[in-house]
């Protein structure tokens, strides 16, 4: 798939592919990458395209910020039912990212605020550089999250911390964000994209079925009763273990051709 999706020209979300990793870059730096409906549309096509030709996704932002969230300038007067449909549409797009066949890595810097945090939370791994800060100003604006944040960000940091952020408008920096499980890595300023790309490239070498199972089964099993989770695990485990790819990898391991687990550096 060498030329097919490479560096397409999109105004709001650029798309490039390198070594099996699709890189989607939010590209409205002058608006702090505010998420308009057009940005969401472009994200949707980028995610769809990546399914066909990439084995991992990186999402990052141009300029000084990952994303300052919902483009409030676009906040048209809507009837309540229109508001429901608008929120449901965002859910649909972010669901395609979260339930993707391939894992997604968010590279964060600067503002990761409101809808920006909701987008980051729909990725599977989050790498933040030291300039990153997280906030959910919806509470102080008189509104509520509508892009899945109450589900995804709430499950990441827990209800109490999210309540605090929404009630008080509190900002949280990268280190605090790591302690609160809002990101899994903190790197020096400017290095988030490179680190995310490195992790994505590594994950891209896993068996596709393992990756599919990891990103899709783990959150579901966490939502089930324990007994049901064990049952499901046994099916996912048995199905991956009997795939030809697993056989090959296990053989490589037994023949000492595969790396052992290393101590953390």
- Should residue 15 be labelled a site residue for a copy of itself when binding is judged by CB under 8 A? no
Residue 138 known to be catalytic: yes
- Should residue 54 be labelled a site residue for a copy of itself when binding is judged by CB under 8 A? no
Residue 118 known to be catalytic: yes
Q: How many CB atoms lie within 10 A of CB 52?
A: 11
Residues 76-135, interacting with a copy of itself (CB under 8 A): 77-88, 91, 95, 101, 103, 111, 113, 124-126, 133, 135
- Should residue 171 be labelled a site residue for a copy of itself when binding is judged by CB under 8 A? yes
- Should residue 189 be labelled a site residue for a copy of itself when binding is judged by CB under 8 A? no
In angstroms, the CA 176 to CA 161 distance is: 11
Which one is catalytic: 44, 53, 138, 233? 138
In angstroms, the CA 57 to CA 220 distance is: 21
In angstroms, the CA 154 to CA 44 distance is: 23
Tokens encoding 225? 């009763």
Q: Choose among 8, 149, 163, 7: nearest CA to 67.
A: 149
- Should residue 224 be labelled a site residue for a copy of itself when binding is judged by CB under 8 A? yes
Which H helix or E strand runs over 37? helix 37-53
Query: Do residues 209 and 55 touch, judged by C-beta distance below 8 A?
Result: no
- Should residue 222 be labelled a site residue for a copy of itself when binding is judged by CB under 8 A? yes
Residues 58-77, interacting with a copy of itself (CB under 8 A): 68, 72-73, 75, 77
Q: Which of 7, 48, 168, 190 binds a copy of itself (CB under 8 A)?
A: 168
Which one is catalytic: 30, 53, 74, 118? 118
Question: How many positions of this chain bind a copy of itself (CB under 8 A)?
Answer: 118
Residues 230-249, interacting with a copy of itself (CB under 8 A): 230-243, 245-249
Listed ranges 2-10, 17-25, 41-49, 217-225: which one lies at the site for a copy of itself (CB under 8 A): 217-225
Q: How far is the CB of 174 from a copy of itself (least distance, A)?
A: 9
In angstroms, the CA 125 to CA 114 distance is: 18
Catalytically annotated residues: 118, 138
């Amino acid at each position: 798939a060498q030329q097919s999706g490479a560096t397409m020209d999109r105004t709001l979300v650029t798309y490039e592919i390198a070594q099996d990793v699709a890189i989607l870059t939010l590209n409205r730096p002058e608006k702090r990458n505010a998420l308009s409906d057009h940005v969401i549309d472009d994200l949707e096509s980028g995610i769809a395209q990546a399914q066909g030709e990439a084995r991992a996704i990186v999402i990052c932002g141009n300029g000084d910020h990952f994303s300052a969230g919902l483009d409030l300038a676009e906040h048209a007067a809507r009837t309540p039912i229109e508001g429901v449909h608008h929120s449901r549409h965002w859910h649909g797009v972010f669901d395609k990212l979260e339930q993707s066949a391939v894992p997604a890595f968010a590279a964060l810097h600067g503002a990761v605020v409101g809808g920006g945090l909701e987008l980051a939370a729909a990725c599977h791994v989050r790498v933040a550089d030291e300039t990153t800060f997280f906030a959910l100003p919806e509470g102080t604006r008189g509104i509520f999250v509508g892009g899945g944040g109450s589900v995804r960000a709430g499950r990441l940091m827990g209800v109490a911390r999210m309540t605090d952020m929404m009630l008080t408008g509190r900002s949280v920096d990268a280190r605090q964000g790591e302690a609160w499980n809002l990101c899994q890595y903190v790197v020096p300023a400017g290095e988030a994209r490179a680190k995310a790309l490195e992790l994505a490239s590594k994950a891209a070498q896993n068996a596709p079925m393992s990756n599919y199972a990891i990103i899709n089964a783990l959150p579901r099993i966490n939502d089930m009763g324990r007994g049901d989770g064990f049952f499901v695990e046994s099916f996912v485990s048995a199905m991956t273990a009997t795939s030809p790819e697993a056989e090959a990898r296990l053989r490589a391991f037994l023949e000492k051709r595969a790396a052992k687990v290393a101590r953390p550096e």
